[in-house]
Structure 1
Amino acid sequence: MLPRNDPRQYDDLAGEWWRPGGHFEILHWLAAARGALVPRAERPEAVLVDAGCGGGLLAPHVQRLGYRHVGVDLRRSGLEQSASRGVTPVTGDVTALPLADGAADVVVAGEILEHVTDLPGTVAELCRVLRPGGLLVLDTVNDTPVGRFVTVTLGERFGAAPVGIHDPELFVDPGELTAECAKHGVRLQVRGLRPSTIGLVRWLFLPKGTRSRPLGRMIPTRSTAVVYQGMGRKQGESR
């Protein structure tokens, strides 16, 4: 068995990225919530960098916004699926993005920060590749007892998360994340997210043969105790 948070698990789970009702179902709901925060591109050559893109779940939510969608990920199995959905695939680590300073108009980091072992270094990279005036959009799991219980204990028991996919020691405190972003000129605003009740019921109890997407969606909430979303612009005038 692979250790917790080992990225090789995603190769074994490659068939789950786009399977309706599968282990990654809620990731689709989170991707839609991220996509809703991305504005239409303001210039013809605008670039959106999708850090830790996985199987390209963000693609359908931003494909008509006018960006060149660049997906960065460590695992080829996910990048191949991203490429099939119009994403420009780049093999790389989010702690050392293989992109130039200020290359992106928008940087999206969805459900990746709770998997990195160097949070300050990762935040620095996300902000480095973001151009002045550019937008950072992210979501992650909070480092709280309830966040650990819901994501790991309940999530793994009921199939909301594959067993061992998370290391709760890496979950991210929003105050720490906000402070790290501020060091690099991004004032991050956060809000909580929760899955819709009807969506959860459909996912958990409908027979597999009747499942079709979308089963549910993420709803903004005041509580950031489990999952939260953040967005902020990098200081400076856009070029």
Structure 2
Amino acid sequence: MRDVAASAASTGPRVLPRNDPRQYDDLAGEWWRPDGAFAMLHWLAEARAALVPPATRPDALLVDLGCGAGLLAPHLAGKGYRHVGVDLTRSALVQAAEHGVRVVQGDVTAVPLPSGCADVVSAGELLEHVPAWPRAVAEACRLLRPGGLLVLDTLNDTALARLVAVRIAERLPTVPRGIHDPRLFVDARALVAECARHGVDLRLRGIRPQVGGMLAWLLRRARATRTSGATSTGRAPRIVPTRSTAVLYQGRGIRKG
């Protein structure tokens, strides 16, 4: 009986350190659930894709660093890019490939792609997960051809970001608990300076979920869960600009020729 109890205990959810990449394997079934643990990544992917113009030449390449399960792909449809995704997590890459992404398993601080290959590099909700984020920035800039576009979003290294993104957001059904290590949040001024070192003039703006849409989404989700055990959340909240970059911010920059 003791062995049975021990076996049952071992099959429970494992407790991992903050920002441990193994969390993405544990949450592999959540990626494409619009009401699941990665719901906010869907909203941010749509907002990031809105910064990407249609391709201006045949065979234009977009490199999606930290692509996860390819959530950016539906929002790039019709824009004319070959979409290559780079990520460490194989279980996520399998799903990305199912959504039309050409996948490369690799580290974003040492991307196995040639310099100057990309018309666009996307680094969405990535840098705050990379202990050596300046190396990831250097790689993103290296991959860009002259005139290429860098788009990104990340969390600022502020007390307010730690409060909102960790203490508050991880208690909501839109951000998995333990997914962020606030010690890795990225100072906005340092990021702009690092991009400039590599020839990219990065312009920032603050972003956030639309408050009314977010509250309505949470209420619909809670109601559906309470009444049927399933979820039906209707229209997703929009990500909108805000004056402050103190919590979540978006960047767009062109690599100089």
Give the TM bin, normalised by the shorter chain: over 0.9
Q: Tell me the alpha carbon deviations over residues 131-174 of structure 1, each in whole angstroms, 9 at most, x when there is no partner.
A: 11000000001111110111100111123311111000000111
Does the alignment pair 1:221 with 2:235? no
* 40, 48, 62: which one aligns with 2:54: 40
Q: What is the correspondence of 1:16-27 to structure 2 with a 5 Å cutoff?
A: 16-27=30-41
Higher Cα radius of gyration: 2
The answer on 1:110 being equivalent to 2:124 is yes
Instruction: Report runs of 4+ in structure 1 exceeding 6 Å deviation.
Output: none
Q: Note if 1:64 corresponds to 2:78.
A: yes
Percent of aligned pairs sharing the same letter: 63
TM-score for both structures, normalised by structure 1: 0.96
The one-letter code of the counterpart of 1:68 is R
Aligned to 1:233: 254
**C-alpha contact 2:144 2:255 (8 A) present in aligned 1:** yes
Q: Which amino acid aligns with 2:239?
A: M
Matched residue of 2:200: which SS? Answer: coil
Structure 1 segments unaligned to the other structure (5+ residues): none
Task: Tell me the SS of whatever aligns to 2:59.
Answer: coil
Tell me how far apart the structure 2 counterparts of residues 180 and 213 of structure 1 sit (CA, whole Å). Answer: 40
Aligned counterparts of 1:133 and 1:143: Cα–Cα separation in 2: 29
Select which of 232, 239, 246 maps to 1:211: 232
Find the counterpart in structure 1 of residue 166 from structure 2: 152
1:106–1:136 Cα contact (<8 Å) kept: yes
Q: Which amino acid aligns with 2:201?
A: R
After TM superposition, give the deviation of residue 53 of structure 1 in Å.
Answer: 0.2
1:49–1:71: 8 Å Cα contact kept in structure 2? yes
Amino acid at match of 1:219: V
Aligned to 2:108: 94
213 and 90 in structure 1: CA distance in 2 versus 1, 3 angstrom threshold: farther
The answer to whether the 8 Å contact 2:35/2:231 transfers is: no
Alignment correspondent of 2:12: none
The CA deviation at 1:210 is 5.3
Whether the aligned pair in 2 keeps the contact of 1:189 and 1:232 (CA below 8 Å) is yes
In structure 2, stretches of 5+ residues that fail to align are 1-14
- Equivalent positions of 1:121-200 (< 5 A) are 121-200=135-214
Higher relative helix content? 2
Residue 197 of structure 1 deviates from its aligned partner by 1.6
1:213/1:25 CA distance change after superposition, 3 Å: farther
Q: Which amino acid in the other structure matches residue 89 of structure 2? A: R
